[in-house]
Structure 1
């Protein structure tokens, strides 16, 4: 157990170097402890009785990222507030949808994702635990150990417990009964016996089950009876009933040849059927499902009696000991308040371990809590004050994309329309310099629900001159924080505005669609900024300025079009700059060659899977969406059977592959993604017969066609290589985050050939402290200033321009910014006089000492700069000699 000290959790331990991401619990050095503190950042109303709060999980060590916790605090005693379970479209338990879609469909004012669902063994996506919506049991529990659920009774009392389902089906006229095992359940393996759920078991399926089978992969042949208004209307042996289940009916499914199947077969059309079932809590109390307003199951218990508890289930499958996005629900000691919460995972924010989540809950004062589905499923949506629709509260693991999930918990208001209470300023709260944004006036009533603001005339203002307003449009002009205010009559509101500045940027990222330096070429150049607080934001094209070295070009709407290229240059540099902070895309002249567009392919394409249970197919096909009139390579995959890491391979030319001529530096490829989140790779065979591999995409997080460029340097191709496979990897960790079934397609594989490696000078420079005379490759030269050792820091300084010029680098001085830019090979180094930070290819790094400006020359720490540029530095203390080689 981890120690708890004065309400603040202390984490200690060695740093992990395994595959799992390093959790905060071990992110500190072995000799130091890290404490965390929960600090409230903001609070707003969603509706009467519902508050939305944001907290920072602040570490005592600044080198560890600050995580963010979002909380919906629900007053269960408020007469106008209700919680309910949300599910698939039109109430389907087998159809998944996003939390945002759920709230829109059911008119919820807020919501979070709910239960875990089994993607590895079924295609239905049914909740693993119980789901009760508006007093109706839509899905029963499974025979699993340690699964806890959150429910609210009809009289508004919250409950978290481990529930067990029990039921009986009775043929009233015959006086015969049979035990009912479950309602609307997928096939699964029971615990602890690892039995097959549907063997000799009787299940009930309602119209909420919309999947084509009842269920898939059950390993049993069914006998079924359709019951409508309590009367058997149809019986089928050794097969499923094809008649759709009406809302006032259900299907009884038994196992053909077994007792459960014999019970179903004994039924006759016209028989009266009675189905009774209940949920029994671990506490011993038995409930009729109608006793509940709602219920959503989760996973392990997290809190009980205000304290963290031992996990009631194995949490390794949830990456419980690694940093991930988290979702949980709990309630206060007096049962009057429910807490629905999520922890972000995006960009530099990696989320938290379940141990940390428990401590967050403790500091919030949560009495009892259960963990819900997390990772990529973690989603919260809320209705901003004055708005009529819910919006994503914070980024998901995929940015703005919401994962399709099995169910969620929705927050609803039943308040009548009240009178005007106030107005709300609506608009973006984070902007970049140069960005334009629209702000609008919203209005809300005495129950904090939106009302039509027609007739209200807004007057906008800002308390700091960071930009200008005109008719609700704001143009950001400089970095800083300010308050945007709006007035209408006697009502007013404000919101905090942040305009991102250079000091907040940890990393600037340019992701060019091509690195070929060719006149007339158009390259997509999206720019992203990762901030020091971990946020990863797209920088608007209008906020980015560009500088070009070695060529001329124009950039419009994020597309760079090359005009002229200087003769005989090894590389061109496209420098994206935001508020003085720069990142570079290194371009090199070369050629492109189509490797394969599949239009005239005559070789065989086949599928292979690992392990052998992995199923699928691969073919060259036409009629694929988005490429209807052309031929493409398609691959269908099925990971539903088997365990461990799994591979789906589209094998080209019976494994002999497609020949690659010469030594290309990259391949661009059109890929139709399915959002399955698998790792996409390519396998090559080198000229020496050995395999080589390259990553196309870390995860397939998109749907539809997308052009991707991937570097071949990572594969280390040698000789006349061949492309033999395009394949997906379903890694063993976090398999519940990925689709088990899907289809990918590939088209237009284009090889990109540079002129070769970007050549850089590799001279040997020998200098002596205090002397202007030096040698370059043995030849005597005179320095503009002698190297010296700075007192107090024991750091060797030398003139940057001399070293840069000697190493064949371009050195550019910006006198206004006091910034020097060094371009050499595939690196861009930027330093500022008097600042102890530098950037290397857009990544901010600390320096032990700052550059100095002496008599018009910039002096820099010799070892740091030289080694950053890829050189080696030797120091001989006896002779005070510096050698760069």
Structure 2
């Protein structure tokens, strides 16, 4: 949650000296420092579980009014805890919507599973950490984000937090805020709680305690300062040396160890953190006056405190609780949607967002930890929709936890050793938000015997690809167990895959059920061997390469599947066809063995299971000097990151072998700041400078300083995407050295620009590299296809007419087996005859209905019925597309010929076409 702080007028200290309690409250409301609840991070929705039967694959459905809950999957996490995913279908504004929810159902009667609070880093307040890292640190087998907190504050939950009977934080004085707890007998509770406590001095006097480990905030409903005239306890659970920060009050602090006052600091904080074997009493105003009068060093002091239900006034000793975690509004009471207990505007209650909640069943035996996904697969829920979902599957009492961008669930998959993200958060795959605390699930089960197996490995593979599969196991308590001695047998139900003693190898397209058996335990998994019919496209990371015998080029191949997935194709699964040269591909690297006599253009085409991919164009190339800096007129500037990094970038007279030329010199000082450090020489301001199209290599002279830092170049490609290329990693030489780097593996889309050259010192191993130094650059060159690349094709004039199965080429008549066609104002022709005349080739893929046309350095890919086409790997849009008529594929004349550099003249009266090149 977000809290806004404003400071105007007198401090709370100054006001408390002059005004009584009512006048102080009035003045603070008018002009004092206020902390007002403005927004709470969005929430995620949950759904609970009705029954906890054995693991099963069957889908169950629950109907409630117009809503429908479908169980998609369930899996044991540990004995007494299951992860269940649901699809919730509901009506919003007269239309049906769907949301995915994930529920951890915990059996509170199971002696081997426990719930507890996970707090920040190292279990301490005023720190924040992602749910995943908290779970890994504490050994939790599952967890979600917990209580609301001030995102601009120190990272302290607003509600009560109890861990193993110890009160970590007391509840803030805020209206309508609920908490969830579990008593030592396993009974769950959801209620509003207050705090009461007393300090008993050695002289028999007492003073009330207001709270434990609380941040500064505005109390409700009086809108007062939380720490004015109050006394708080701070324990070693509080990490920060500010107790608290930005309170607007001057503290008097008392250090107590072993029940004896060790130090009294009047009107000033005791420096340092709270010791592990003691606590600090923090007082202000009238509380500070009490300390000055009644507490002295060496005196005994005792404190007592308890939680109190604000519903029925019953008291609870924190030591009688296993755990407690705070939350926000009540959502469900006695199996029905409850009225919201505080405003939900600040937590986007009416918006469809990710949400987190917790509740329990009517018999009190099951706790439900609930999240709703808000990502590409699910659209989130409003709070009212969340209530409908919870009640429809039997939640008896439930409350809201922090949500929105904070909503995170981690679970330990069956047979695995560590937790992982259960679903992509609304912040993205890597967007786990650091939060103040979380609700964790823990197992105390002993090691059991082997109960079941689980196959781990890829569910799809390519023909010729061998994939290793692991066998993991779980014991009678559904915890992971070592299977290294299991010695399983493996088999497949058909010949689509074969066992290689290490894994399965794809043999032919289709599905196979693989099974592993060890003793009485076994597991099966269906895997799919992808075929050519599963592919939408097959592309290579390199579009152009130099046509020179002995040259090598990296050729990573990527397949886009018809289901939209993009996957890397292993090199052993790809076959290659070559035109204009002899070549060989080994381990993803193509080597030109020989160039055909007279060839200026050659092609290498990847083929998978009969599916032809986009060819790589090989052409004669030249090395061009891009920048020598002797006559450089582009602006060169220095930029450091972080801001503390300093240095200069300038064009100066060279040294050594380059003493007669000018060079780009980059001086850097990386001693300032923290984290990864960068010293940039920006080229042409921050705009960069265009490099030759389809460049395949970059050469640069570099003056090294043996700093062991990395020296890199940053490009911006046609899509504005940054492309990073290592020049020296690490920089382990001094003096001038000529470096050549391959650009073909960068995946760069042209046209592109070189934006900057720079030095980087990454955090890992930072102390092993020099923080200051100087490097210089000179003679930057690029190797790119020469302008002669498209020569060698015949010059000719060809004429044909719509509806006629003949054409004349340079005055000589030839027969066509299909006539040009005029349809909807577009002329279509058989491309084969055009290429026979003007040079080039075409390949037709009957599976994908795609035709690939190559002529010179131009590769054109068109698909029947699709107006989108690829030109040298880049997507383009046309108004027309190829068609099939009479069993033959015809292409749009003007679109194809103009892209191939062939001139077109259309005679409307005679419906004749003249092509020239």
Relative to the length of structure 1, the TM-score reads: 0.64
Tell me the secondary structure at the aligned position of residue 93 of structure 1: coil
Alpha-carbon separation, structure 2, partners of 1:157 and 1:306: 20
Alpha-carbon separation, structure 1, partners of 2:101 and 2:393: 11
Matched, 1:180 2:210: yes
Of 646, 653, 667, the match for 1:619 = 646
Q: CA deviation at 1:335?
A: 3.4
Point out the structure with max Rg over C-alpha.
Answer: 2
Residues 125 and 581 of structure 1: CA distance in aligned 2, closer, same or farther (over 3 Å): farther
Alpha-carbon separation, structure 2, partners of 1:450 and 1:475: 28
Contact in 1 for aligned 2:372/2:381 (Cα 8 Å):
no
Matched, 1:226 2:226: no
- Alpha-carbon deviations, 1:2-27, whole Å to 9, x = none? xxxxxxxxxxxxxxxxxxxxx9xxxx
- Alpha-carbon deviations, 1:224-273, whole Å to 9, x = none? 32222333222334554345433332223345xx4455555554323404
2:239 corresponds in structure 1 to: 210
Contact in 1 for aligned 2:117/2:324 (Cα 8 Å):
yes
Q: CA deviation at 1:183?
A: 1.6
- Alpha-carbon deviations, 1:649-677, whole Å to 9, x = none? 99989999468455688999xxxxxxxxx
1:486 corresponds in structure 2 to: 516
Matched, 1:799 2:830: yes
What are the within-5 Å matches in structure 2 for residues 707-786 of structure 1? 770=803, 785-786=818-819
1:460 corresponds in structure 2 to: 490
Which sections of structure 1, spanning at least 5 residues, go unmatched? 1-22, 24-34, 609-615, 622-628, 639-648, 669-681, 685-691, 698-703, 727-744
Of 276, 282, 286, the match for 1:253 = 282
Alpha-carbon separation, structure 1, partners of 2:165 and 2:553: 58
Contact in 2 for aligned 1:379/1:402 (Cα 8 Å):
no
Matched, 1:378 2:413: no
Contact in 2 for aligned 1:665/1:753 (Cα 8 Å):
no
Moved more, 822-831 or 75-84: 822-831
2:441 corresponds in structure 1 to: 411
What are the within-5 Å matches in structure 2 for residues 148-547 of structure 1? 148-161=178-191, 163-173=192-202, 175-185=205-215, 202-211=231-240, 213-216=242-245, 222-237=251-266, 239-254=268-283, 258-259=285-286, 262=289, 267-271=295-299, 272-278=301-307, 280=309, 287-298=316-327, 305-307=335-337, 321=351, 327-342=356-371, 349=377, 352-354=380-382, 361=390, 364-367=393-396, 368-375=398-405, 378-385=408-415, 387-394=416-423, 399=429, 405-420=435-450, 422-428=451-457, 430-433=459-462, 434-453=464-483, 456-471=486-501, 473-498=503-528, 527=558, 532=563
Of 81, 89, 92, the match for 1:50 = 81
Alpha-carbon separation, structure 1, partners of 2:365 and 2:212: 32
Q: CA deviation at 1:55?
A: 3.9
Alpha-carbon separation, structure 1, partners of 2:147 and 2:592: 51
1:77 corresponds in structure 2 to: 109
Tell me the secondary structure at the aligned position of residue 92 of structure 1: coil
Alpha-carbon separation, structure 2, partners of 1:297 and 1:401: 24
1:812 corresponds in structure 2 to: 843
Q: CA deviation at 1:785?
A: 3.0
- Alpha-carbon deviations, 1:582-631, whole Å to 9, x = none? 579999978797999xxxx99775899xxxxxxx645349xxxxxxx994
Alpha-carbon separation, structure 2, partners of 1:880 and 1:168: 98
Alpha-carbon separation, structure 2, partners of 1:353 and 1:522: 51
Contact in 2 for aligned 1:237/1:265 (Cα 8 Å):
yes
Alpha-carbon separation, structure 1, partners of 2:536 and 2:424: 19
Residues 43 and 91 of structure 1: CA distance in aligned 2, closer, same or farther (over 3 Å): same
- Alpha-carbon deviations, 1:427-459, whole Å to 9, x = none? 125232254443344444443344454654422
Alpha-carbon separation, structure 2, partners of 1:197 and 1:714: 61
Residues 817 and 535 of structure 1: CA distance in aligned 2, closer, same or farther (over 3 Å): closer
Contact in 1 for aligned 2:413/2:419 (Cα 8 Å):
yes
Alpha-carbon separation, structure 1, partners of 2:909 and 2:222: 74
Alpha-carbon separation, structure 1, partners of 2:867 and 2:539: 18
Residues 821 and 107 of structure 1: CA distance in aligned 2, closer, same or farther (over 3 Å): same
Q: CA deviation at 1:276?
A: 1.9
Alpha-carbon separation, structure 2, partners of 1:524 and 1:144: 62
Alpha-carbon separation, structure 1, partners of 2:248 and 2:584: 62
Alpha-carbon separation, structure 1, partners of 2:838 and 2:86: 50
Contact in 1 for aligned 2:101/2:373 (Cα 8 Å):
yes
Moved more, 362-371 or 765-774: 765-774
Which sections of structure 2, spanning at least 5 residues, go unmatched? 1-43, 45-65, 630-634, 649-665, 699-713, 724-729, 732-742, 760-771, 792-796
Contact in 1 for aligned 2:497/2:512 (Cα 8 Å):
no
Of 108, 119, 124, the match for 1:92 = 124
1:32 corresponds in structure 2 to: none
Residues 343 and 830 of structure 1: CA distance in aligned 2, closer, same or farther (over 3 Å): farther
Contact in 2 for aligned 1:303/1:370 (Cα 8 Å):
no
Tell me the secondary structure at the aligned position of residue 91 of structure 1: coil
Contact in 1 for aligned 2:98/2:379 (Cα 8 Å):
no
2:9 corresponds in structure 1 to: none
Relative to the length of structure 2, the TM-score reads: 0.62
The number of equivalent residue pairs is 759
Q: CA deviation at 1:564?
A: 9.3
Alpha-carbon separation, structure 1, partners of 2:341 and 2:805: 68
**What root-mean-square deviation, in Å, do the aligned CA atoms of Structure 1 and Structure 2 show?**
6.7
Q: CA deviation at 1:570?
A: 11
Alpha-carbon separation, structure 1, partners of 2:883 and 2:170: 67
Q: CA deviation at 1:424?
A: 0.9
Alpha-carbon separation, structure 1, partners of 2:547 and 2:269: 63
Q: CA deviation at 1:207?
A: 1.6
Contact in 2 for aligned 1:603/1:653 (Cα 8 Å):
yes
Contact in 2 for aligned 1:657/1:724 (Cα 8 Å):
no
Contact in 1 for aligned 2:829/2:893 (Cα 8 Å):
yes
Q: CA deviation at 1:382?
A: 1.3
Q: CA deviation at 1:782?
A: 9.1
1:114 corresponds in structure 2 to: 146
Residues 104 and 789 of structure 1: CA distance in aligned 2, closer, same or farther (over 3 Å): same
Alpha-carbon separation, structure 1, partners of 2:722 and 2:78: 45
- Alpha-carbon deviations, 1:475-526, whole Å to 9, x = none? 24455444332223344333344556667778889778x9997986876958
Contact in 2 for aligned 1:457/1:488 (Cα 8 Å):
yes
Contact in 1 for aligned 2:79/2:113 (Cα 8 Å):
yes
Contact in 2 for aligned 1:331/1:369 (Cα 8 Å):
no
Alpha-carbon separation, structure 1, partners of 2:217 and 2:519: 62
Contact in 2 for aligned 1:507/1:842 (Cα 8 Å):
no
Alpha-carbon separation, structure 1, partners of 2:628 and 2:363: 68
Alpha-carbon separation, structure 2, partners of 1:316 and 1:584: 56
What are the within-5 Å matches in structure 2 for residues 2-21 of structure 1? none
Alpha-carbon separation, structure 1, partners of 2:330 and 2:539: 40
Alpha-carbon separation, structure 1, partners of 2:798 and 2:327: 65
Alpha-carbon separation, structure 2, partners of 1:874 and 1:511: 37
Q: CA deviation at 1:768?
A: 7.8
Alpha-carbon separation, structure 2, partners of 1:830 and 1:475: 33
